[in-house]
Amino acid sequence: MAGDRGSWYVKSVEKTFAVLDAFTAESPRLSVSDVAAAADLSRAAARRFLMTLTELGYVSLHEGRYQLAPRSLSIGSSFLSGLTLPAVAEPHLRALAADLMETTSLCVLDDTRIVYVSRVISPRLVSVSVNVGTSFPAWATSMGRVLLAGLEPADLQDRLARSDIRPYTARTVSSAEQLRAELDVVRRQGWSVVRAELEEGLSGVAVPVRLGSRVVAAANVSLHRHRGAEAVEQVVLPRLRDAAGKISADYGIRPPALE
């Protein structure tokens, strides 16, 4: 907690990033009241932060609602430019996308969410706009479940306790008990398939990318509607596992043999 930190801790910096973090893929345009609630600020304080960020060019105001401005990309650009894993993964993701004619991605875990760090788009993807930097709740995605299943039990328990586990669609695994059971299956089999749990029409299969025994990322194939369970296991999954192994090897990681 911030109150436990020393005199060096700058509370206004924490509040600034709480305001920026209020903007998500699910809620890209927010009112002052929305930001105040998400950042745990008074409405007056939220307005001051938003006005300052607007003046600095990180936020813009349109028709009474705020949204992140293009300059906000500069906050994460240095991280992405220095992160070698996406660059290593991209040629393998491109080859896999061309082979399967599906969108491929690489994600990492950011607290309770996943963040896309590399993505190769299939021309067939028309219903969902997802780019590098897009974030989703980890528990509701195939990539997130692979990453969560790779955590130590105490770490997993902490993150699940802070996750807003709720139904997004009729197919969503929406209780902590169901989710833990699903993660046990993912941990045993080494892969995850999620169909239309976060959004109708959004489905995917994911496998881990490892550093030794530690899961450091998840490689994913977005599934077109025609891909049934048999096609996923017999066609998509072997190619995805092969690509993940190549990403691991090129990154200086040699994963354990896949069963």
Contacting residues for 34 by C-beta, under 8 A, at least 6 apart: 22, 27
258 located within any domain: no
Q: What is the pLDDT of residue 78?
A: 65
**Mind listing the pLDDT tens digit for each residue in 161-179?**
888 888 888 888 878 888 8
Whether 64 and 131 map to the same domain: the answer is no
Are 173 and 179 contacting, i.e. CB atoms less than 8 angstroms apart?
Answer: yes
Phi-psi bin for 93: left (phi > 0), alpha (psi -120 to 50), beta? alpha
234: closest CA among 197, 211, 209, 205? 205
135 located within any domain: yes
Whether 30 and 104 map to the same domain: the answer is no
Q: Which of 50, 71, 92 is the last residue of a domain?
A: 71
Distance (Å) of CA 205 to CA 41, 43, 243, 251: 39, 42, 13, 22
37 located within any domain: yes
CATH code of 203's domain: 3.30.450.40
Phi, psi dihedrals of residue 68, rounded to the nearest 5°: -65, 140
Classify residue 72 by its DSSP letter.
Answer: G
Phi-psi bin for 182: left (phi > 0), alpha (psi -120 to 50), beta? alpha
Whether 149 and 234 map to the same domain: the answer is yes
CATH code of 17's domain: 1.10.10.10
60: closest CA among 34, 37, 30, 38? 30
- Gap between the Cα atoms of 31 and 169, Å rounded: 26
Q: Which of 23, 51, 71 is the last residue of a domain?
A: 71
Whether 32 and 96 map to the same domain: the answer is no
Distance (Å) of CA 169 to CA 130, 180, 199: 19, 19, 6
Between vectors from CA 136 to CA 57 and to CA 116, what angle results, nearest 5°?
A: 75
Q: What is the pLDDT of residue 259?
A: 34
1 located within any domain: no
2 located within any domain: no
Are 66 and 86 contacting, i.e. CB atoms less than 8 angstroms apart?
Answer: no
Task: Point out which residues pair with 61 in neighbouring strands.
Answer: 66
Q: What is the pLDDT of residue 228?
A: 66
Please state the domain count of the chain.
2
256 located within any domain: no
Low-confidence ranges of the chain (pLDDT < 70): 1-4, 77-83, 123-130, 225-228, 252-259
3-state DSSP assignment of residue 54: helix
255 located within any domain: no
User: Residue 46: how many CB atoms within 10 A of its CB?
Assistant: 26
Q: What is the pLDDT of residue 53?
A: 95
Q: Which helix (H) or strand (E) holds 210?
A: strand 203-211
Which range of residues forms the domain containing residue 26?
11-71
Q: What is the pLDDT of residue 80?
A: 63
Is pTM, for the whole model, over 0.85? no
